[in-house]
Amino acid sequence: MWTVIYIAPNAKTAERIQDKLTQEGFLVKLRQTNIAKEQYEILVPETELDEVQEVLKDILHSSHRYPN
């Protein structure tokens, strides 16, 4: 089962996070939200949730220090 781990504010951010998580070896899906067309859900398998959350925290922290 797939679980939403983050809602990105736009496609560029969602794709950047997806790329970094994929490079770390995780399976990742993106899905546009029904609420706001610019927002994207980032989904991962439920079995990888704990590991992905740790890596995601590092990705988000580093993106605040060095925005693209």
- Predicted local distance difference test score (pLDDT) of residue 63: 66
In the sheet with 2-8, reading across from the earlier edge strand, the strands are 2-8, 40-45, 29-32
pLDDT score, position 68: 46
How many residues in total does the chain contain?
A: 68
CA–CA dist 65, 32 (Å, integer): 26
Q: What is the domain partition of the chain in residue ranges?
A: 2-62
DSSP conformation letters of 26-60: ---EEEE-SS-TT-EEEEEEGGGHHHHHHHHHHHH
Model confidence pLDDT, tens digit, residues 5-55: 999 999 999 999 999 999 999 999 999 998 877 899 999 999 999 999 999
Would you state the pLDDT for residue 37?
A: 77
Question: Looking at the domain that runs over 2-62, which CATH code has it been given?
Answer: 3.30.70
pLDDT given for residue 62 in this prediction:
82
Q: pTM for this one?
A: 0.85
